[in-house]
Amino acid sequence: MRKKSALDTAICQKLGIRYPVMQAGMGLVATGQLAGEVSKAGGLGVIGAGYMTPDELRQEIQTVRQITDKPFAVDILFGKPQVDHSEANAYSKNIQAQIDVSLTEKVPILISGLGSPEAIIEDAHARGILVMSVIGNLRQARTLENAGIDVLIASGSEGGGHVGNISTVTLVPAVVDAVKVPVIAGGGLADGRGLVAALALGAQGVWMGTRFIATPEANAHKNYGEKIVATDIAGTIVTRCHSGKTARLIKNQFTAAWEGREHEIEPFPLQLQHVGGPASRSGRLEGDVERGSLPAGQGSGLIHSIKGAAQIVTDIIDEAEALLDQLAGSQ
């Protein structure tokens, strides 16, 4: 396939990928199968390590390596507990074990999906591992740039899962202006138009989560993918009922049951351990789309079919190329 130079951004060379399309890390859903297929198709596949034991993570890394020898990443939730509690300490211990596995396996890229990876940047670099971080505001962007981060993923409030309160269209150019490191745009982007828009905002690529749930390769019950296809742009809500931190979920009985009961929500990660985790398993894996926790972005309203992960990458690039041609012709 012919590749337009506008899509051949500097990040492609930096990460060793063909197309500037990154499949976002998603707990339970983005396992080795999905990540491997996206990387094989020329994008960047990302394993969402959330909920995995260290052994499970090692297994998923092997799965990617069996599918492709192309670069991929592991996404870890670095978020610090908001409470000193034995269960919260166990959570932190598992996160540290996930980090250790990623470092010893020398995964090509390590991504922090929540919180700060500052403490491990030096160690990762010494092993030849690039470090990227998802951010939702300028303070995090500046702090991480000073700490030596390689790439920032500016993910806006339209996105699925944990979100801040600044929209993608405002966050991305503000981050691009504030830092010198490459920036990837995420949150609410679901097609080739989103990629071209991201480039226009100064980003070098896109980070897409929700779009890749509606695929046969995602580790998601088919009811979840079908629910995303059926959800429109107004069908999601930001709530702390999943983890104690703000996250965007599909509106359903689970989110409705927590409305007016916000005072009962426990601090992160206890709410995740007691409520969001079990609800995630029943919704994402067992297909209970009413009582389960189903993270998804407003871009659900732009997703009209389930399709293969490699096809998504190809379609995004084809759409973006056609759009760039159209825009150039209209000047």
Ligand X SMILES: Cc1cc2nc3c(=O)[nH]c(=O)nc-3n(C[C@H](O)[C@H](O)[C@H](O)COP(=O)(O)O)c2cc1C
Chain residues that interact with ligand X, rule: CB under 6 A: 24-27, 29, 48, 50, 75, 77, 113-114, 134, 155, 158-162, 186-189, 207-210, 213, 295-297, 299
Tell the smallest beta-carbon distance from residue 233 to ligand X (Å): 11
Q: Cβ neighbours of residue 143 under 8 Å, at least 6 residues apart?
A: 116, 118
The smaller minimum CB distance to ligand X, of residues 186 and 192, is found at 186
Q: Which residues pair with 186 in a beta bridge?
A: 155, 207
With respect to ligand X, which residue has the nearer C-beta, 179 or 208?
208
**Strand order from edge to edge, sheet including 151-155:** 21-23, 206-208, 183-186, 151-155, 130-135, 109-114, 72-77, 45-48
Nearer to ligand X, 293 or 314 (CB): 293
d(CA 239, CA 255): 7
CB 46, min distance to ligand X, A: 8
Beta-carbon neighbour count of residue 105 at 10 Å?
A: 16
Please identify the residue of the shown chain whose CB is closest to the bound ligand X: 113
Task: Quote the least distance from Cβ 234 to ligand X, whole Å.
Answer: 14
Query: How far is Cα 183 from Cα 217, in angstroms, rounded to an integer?
Result: 27
Peptide bond into 269 cis (omega under 30): yes
When the beta carbons of 3 and 190 are compared against ligand X, the nearer one is 190
CA 323 – CA 94 distance, rounded (Å): 44
- Comparing CB distances to ligand X, the nearer of 5 and 45 is 45
Strand 21-23 versus strand 206-208 pairing type: parallel
- The nearest distance, CB 163 to ligand X, in angstroms, is 8
Number of Cβ within 10 Å of residue 260's Cβ equals: 8
Name residues whose C-beta falls within 8 Å of residue 11's C-beta, 6 or more positions apart in sequence.
17, 20, 151, 182, 184, 204, 205
- Choice between 3 and 202, CB closer to ligand X: 202
CB of 159 to ligand X, least distance (A): 3
CB of 168 to ligand X, least distance (A): 8
Of 207 and 258, CB closest to ligand X: 207
Residue 47: which H helix or E strand, with range?
strand 45-48
Per DSSP, the residues of 87-98 read: HHHHHHHHHHHH
Least distance from ligand X to the Cβ atom of residue 29, Å: 5
Cβ nearer to ligand X, comparing 232 with 325: 232
Tell me how far, at minimum, the Cβ of 322 lies from ligand X, in Å.
Answer: 21
Q: Give the separation between CA 160 and CA 145, rounded to whole angstroms.
A: 25
